[in-house]
Structure 1
């Protein structure tokens, strides 16, 4: 197949952030498909240098548009970035030969260039939903205007109706898509565990502990991800305050950047934990974060106490399991269900960081409990969320969508790999 893959925030392992698109795209190339990724160069400087640059990453041709973006941007600046990328990506995507176009949100505005290219090229479009939008921004108060809410809901339904297939990252997201568009064909392909990336994680984790004086052999709780409004990392600062009193040897590390970084730092200073039992570290690349997960005794994923966020599929959860480490979340939903069923971590009480500190402190200081949870985490990573297993499902979705085009137009060229498979 010739696949155009739209993702505004595409990341390689040498960059910070999730690498789901990179991992799927490079596997598609290994299977003999031709893949062009259209994305944004989020660190670019406005109006400086060329609009586009092109690189090849693990056989994937990546087209980078100069559209700056940061989590700390204002809502208006983000909307502007979404619109600018949609305009540039539409023209670039439509210029590429393709049998199917795949677009992954957020933002949902990614559907605009995807539908444009699909119509121009007369190919099917597959849409991936990483968050329920606009339910999440409405719940967070980012979309207050009734006019903006109506426009966002209209865009959502339009995107689903124009998709030959929808990929959802969790069962809750799939249910949300079907509620909006009952006729949609939806497949759940959650985030995955890159077990090859974490194969030698224990060695990296020991080295990190040895070179980090404040850590050494002490228990470590890790949050590695965005410090944004959605993430409610202040929950962990307050938890650390109770841990300092009841379990002074336990360390909490927050690795990342985001719009709430300054607020989190101020709260940590106010709570008397910064540099004592809680440590704020800058974001690192996907390759470098392996050592942090391997060094921790418990990886944590937090979100604000909003039901709309319970369907999330946070990368940090799956990275924790890939490293063979227990995971804790502070919300209900499908991840909480997996944790309770498997024993691969903890479900912490929403809105009660002091109670969470009691649970976490008892857990990370109990070697038998942590050992059992580590074993469970490895089982979950291997049997339910292994990236290679999930890729098989993902590729099948794209192949089925591409077949729809061939059913309509049998003259559409097959790739050599597909011709060989049919022979």
Structure 2
């Protein structure tokens, strides 16, 4: 089978969509299938083209047996609704134009978060007469409303109609959460064509390991209890709560033992850094995005991992992919997300849950971890055991089975 995958995020980018797509495609290639990915030049999250790449009309390379075609797109930082839409639309147009040059394709997958990629996949499916698969990673444009990036308008209503059109036209919808499946069913989409393949973890990379001593020295973390956030610093993540927590703790007796490490980039990072400097939060350390192979070194520094999203009903349906990486590394989780992801943390016993955007609750959970050695050890041991149930390879093969079901049966 020849799978055509359209995605605007792909390695060497290191965000969750890029990692999921790459790791799934690798497993499909290992299973004997041909995979072609049409993507754009790597530039996320800063909106700057990575070293070694140029924003050309067409370029291609081989990565782990995957044919990767990179097309031109309007490259911009993740700032401003109009610029982001220009980025999305330019990729949609160029991916649609590039796809006819990929021959012998059996099906096409378009992945969110935003659905312009799925629009391109639908058009390609009609041009080639092949099934269209919608991989649903985010309820977009509903998430725009949730973070307040755009007010209620006719434009959002139109985008929602396009979203529902794509769901109806998809031969298969692969959702990353059960909550998304329920949401679609409530909006009239046939639940029988929605399959849930959660995010997972590459157990060969994310394993328990000792703290990286070189990084401990570099960031002066000797003898400190490190709580970290690793990932995109965006509007949805409401990371001011972490800064408020750092401020709250440093004013309490014994609070000097805590350090907060924030690794990554995003639209909110400059403002977060400005606030930290203004408030003289010397217990907060900012680190820019690092290469994929370096991420586990920074994970190893953490005594607790903070996973946080803005308090919103929409985010009750979200399962942050970093949760599974924390499990694999054996790092206790402090989860400021309600809903399905909180259910996983409590069911698997891998962390403590707190109310989103509640600074005092975050600090109380962090102190509980620090004070209770037995609790910390139990959560640490439970992580890798739970991670085995979310193995990326197993999930990729399960998804492959659903894709193979779409192929016409030979007579």
Which deviates the most, 214-223 or 24-33?
Answer: 214-223
Q: 1:198: how far off?
A: 2.1
Residue of structure 2 equivalent to 1:16: 14
Check conservation: 2:331, 2:379, Cα contact below 8 A: yes
> 3-state SS of the aligned residue for 2:127?
helix
Figure out how many residues of one structure are paired with residues of the other and give that number.
397
Superposition pairs of residues 4-403 of structure 1, within 5 angstroms: 4-12=4-12, 15-18=13-16, 19-43=19-43, 50-96=56-102, 97-184=104-191, 185-199=193-207, 202-203=209-210, 205-246=211-252, 247-273=255-281, 276-382=282-388, 384-402=389-407
Task: Please list every run of 5 or more consecutive structure 2 residues that lacks an aligned counterpart in the other structure.
Answer: none
* Alpha-carbon spacing, 1:150–1:120, altered in 2? closer, same or farther (3 Å): same
* Alpha-carbon spacing, 1:334–1:71, altered in 2? closer, same or farther (3 Å): farther
Q: 1:210: how far off?
A: 4.1
* Alpha-carbon spacing, 1:300–1:208, altered in 2? closer, same or farther (3 Å): farther
> 3-state SS of the aligned residue for 1:313?
coil
The root-mean-square deviation of aligned C-alpha atoms, in Å, is: 1.8
Check conservation: 2:26, 2:65, Cα contact below 8 A: yes
* CA deviations over 1:223-260 (Å, ceiling 9, x no partner): 01111111111110001111222321111100011111
Check conservation: 2:233, 2:239, Cα contact below 8 A: yes
Q: 1:180: how far off?
A: 2.4
Give the Cα separation in 1 of the matches to 2:70 and 2:367.
45
Check conservation: 1:229, 1:260, Cα contact below 8 A: yes
Runs of 4+ in structure 1 displaced over 6 angstroms? none
Give the Cα separation in 1 of the matches to 2:94 and 2:370.
49
Check conservation: 1:71, 1:228, Cα contact below 8 A: no
> 3-state SS of the aligned residue for 1:39?
strand
* CA deviations over 1:260-306 (Å, ceiling 9, x no partner): 11111122123331xx2111111112221111112211111111111
Q: 1:107: how far off?
A: 1.3
TM-score by length of 1: 0.89
Residue of structure 2 equivalent to 1:416: none
Which deviates the most, 31-40 or 308-317?
Answer: 308-317
Check conservation: 2:201, 2:328, Cα contact below 8 A: yes
Q: 1:168: how far off?
A: 0.7
> 3-state SS of the aligned residue for 2:69?
strand
Which deviates the most, 102-111 or 135-144?
Answer: 135-144
Check conservation: 2:77, 2:267, Cα contact below 8 A: yes
Check conservation: 1:41, 1:68, Cα contact below 8 A: no
Give the Cα separation in 1 of the matches to 2:275 and 2:11.
30
Q: 1:146: how far off?
A: 2.5
